[in-house]
Every structure is written in C-alpha cells, then in structure tokens.
Chain A
Amino acid sequence: MKRNARLTVYLSVLTAQAMVLNWVEGLIPMPLPVPGARLGLANIVTLIAAYTLPWPSVLLIVAARTILGSFLFSGLSTLLYSLSAGLVSAAVMLLARRLMKGDGRSILAVSLVGAIVHNLTQLTVAALVLENIRVFMAYLPWLLLLAIPAGLFVGGAGRLLLRYVDRLHLDF
C-alpha cells in the first residue's frame, strides 16, 4: 500500500507539472517561420517519466496530461493531435531508450527521437484530418529541423533534472 501511495503521488505530480509547463509555454511568443511550432516543455516530464517509471505509467501520464490539459486550456479540437503525438512519441522514446544499451544510452538522443516523432505524428494526423498531402510535404522540412533544437533543449533540461530525481531513489 505504501509503495502504491508513493507511486500515485509521483504520477500526479508529474502530470500536474506537464500541464503547467504546457500552459506556460503557450504564453511565450515564438517568432518562427512555422506558426504554432513549440518547444515541447511538457516532454521534459515525459522524458523523466520514461527514465523512472515502467512503460504503462509513462503512457498513463501522457494520456492524463493531454486529456486534462485539453479540458482546461487548449480545447477539445487539439486533443486528437496532442494525444496521438504524445502517446506515439512516448512509446518511441521508451523503445529508443531500450535499444540504446549500456554506455551508448543518451538522454539527449532519446529526447531528439521523441521530438522528431512527436512532430511527425502531429503532421501525419493533420494531413489525414485535412485530407491534404501537400500540407504534410510543406511543413515536413520545418518541423524536422525545429525538432532538433527543441529536442536538444528538452533533453538537456531532462538530464539536469534527472540528477536530482535520481537522488530520490524512486524504485517503481
């Protein structure tokens, strides 16, 4: 029971942090050639989760934060995009982390993969919803390039944060 309570609290804290980061990010103007492009600060939380929790819990946090976030902040019209991209990129990050064994394991690389897959998923869903393949091709280069600085930033932040999270000796 005690372990269960600890897990519940940890999951809740991560979910709340991701939602707040997402909201704060929306307040920062991004003067970029691609309107709507974002840094993906909430992915810091997904990254931390992927390094400290079993995979079902990671996906649970992503689902919870996107669904609750869409009710509170962004509206239901964006849920399809944030939920699909969040879940797919989290799954691929978990996979990437597993594939990179031993001393080759890099949180920066995992974060980069996550950012790229997040953008690819969102763009694919958008092209499918709009039934317009040209949308995919027009935004693909920019979203791939923008995923690089975003993924590195999120990965760097995740690496700094993980040092402190590791000291908690969470063992879920």
Chain B
Amino acid sequence: MNTKKTTWILIILALAVLGAVLALLLHRPSGGLGEVLVTVDGEEYGRYPLDVDAEFTVETPWGYNDVIIHDGQADVHEADCPNQICVNTAPAREIGDMIVCLPHKLVVEIVPEDAP
C-alpha cells in the first residue's frame, strides 16, 4: 500500500475517532437522581420513578412493549416488534441510558428528575 492511500485511511479513521470521543464527552451528563421517561412517536407517554418497582405495558399504534422497573433499572422484557432489538438491549440504569424500539417509535430512557 502506498503512502497516499495510508494517509487517506488515517485521516478518515482519525475523524471517526475524534467524532466519537467528542460525542461521548458531550453526551454523558454527570450523576444525580434519574427517572424513567417513556416516549412514543415523540410524545411523552409517562414518567416513572426508578426506585419503585413497576410493570406495565406500553400500547403504541404499532404494537406493545412490556416494561419492568425493578432494582433501580428499567427493562423492556417483551414486545411484539419484528426485530426484538428493544428486548435484547441491556436494562437502563444511569442517566443517559436508553432502550429504543424503532418499529414502535418507542424510547425508554433515564433522564434527570424533572428534566424536559
């Protein structure tokens, strides 16, 4: 491989890593208390405290997602979406964690308490 090619590849790699690091630094808010925010199609569906165990079914126009809040973490444990990505996502625990179900336009995320 000649140097010109290597230079291009290195430039692209550097840009990708730089973008990733910047996004990581910008995104992670510091600790504090969080609550569970559920949105469907961009609209707030409900807010739930993380420290109260709960189990509920979110009915979206495209299907349902069963959410369990237990031991201070929120998890989508069942859904009738085709790809099951939300079910396979690890439980959300800290502020910034999220579970997304694209087919149902559903987001379960941990946000700081009383944040918009």
Which residues of A come within 8 Å of B, CB atoms? Answer: 35-36, 74-75, 77-78, 81, 100, 102-106, 108-109, 112-113, 116, 126, 129-132, 134-135, 137-138, 140-142, 144-145, 147-148
- Residues in chain B near residue A126, CB distance under 8 A: 100, 102
**In whole Å, how far is A85's beta carbon from the nearest beta carbon of chain B?**
13
For residue B89, CB closer than 8 A to chain A, the reply is: yes
For residue B82, CB closer than 8 A to chain A, the reply is: yes
Q: Which residue of A lies closest to B15 (CB)?
A: A116
Query: What is the bound-complex CA distance between A159 and B88, given in angstroms?
Result: 34
Q: Which of B8, B24, B103, B105 contacts A78 (CB 8 A)?
A: B103
For residue B30, CB closer than 8 A to chain A, the reply is: no
Q: Which of B2, B19, B42 contacts A130 (CB 8 A)?
A: B42
Contacts A140-B23, A141-B27, A144-B16 given; indicate if A109 touches B102 (C-beta within 8 A): no
CB of B12 within 8 A of CB of A113, answer yes
Query: What is the bound-complex CA distance between A109 and B3, given in angstroms?
Result: 13
- Residues in chain B near residue A135, CB distance under 8 A: 98, 100, 107
- Residues in chain A near residue B81, CB distance under 8 A: 77
- Residues in chain A near residue B16, CB distance under 8 A: 112, 116, 144-145, 147-148
For residue B33, CB closer than 8 A to chain A, the reply is: no
**In whole Å, how far is B84's beta carbon from the nearest beta carbon of chain A?**
9
CB-contacts of B61-84 with A (<8 A)? 62, 81-83
Interface of A is mostly: helix
- Residues in chain B near residue A129, CB distance under 8 A: 102, 105
* Given A130-B105, A134-B27, 14 extra CB contacts under 8 A: A35-B88, A74-B82, A102-B4, A104-B2, A104-B5, A108-B5, A109-B5, A109-B9, A126-B102, A131-B42, A138-B98, A144-B16, A144-B20, A148-B13
Contacts A137-B27, A141-B27, A144-B16 given; indicate if A103 touches B100 (C-beta within 8 A): no
Query: What is the bound-complex CA distance between A74 and B83, given in angstroms?
Result: 8
- Residues in chain A near residue B41, CB distance under 8 A: 130-131
Report which residue of B1, B17, B102, B109 has the largest number of chain A beta carbons within 10 angstroms of its beta carbon: B102
CB of A35 within 8 A of CB of B103, answer no
CB of B23 within 8 A of CB of A103, answer no
Query: What is the bound-complex CA distance between A36 and B89, given in angstroms?
Result: 9
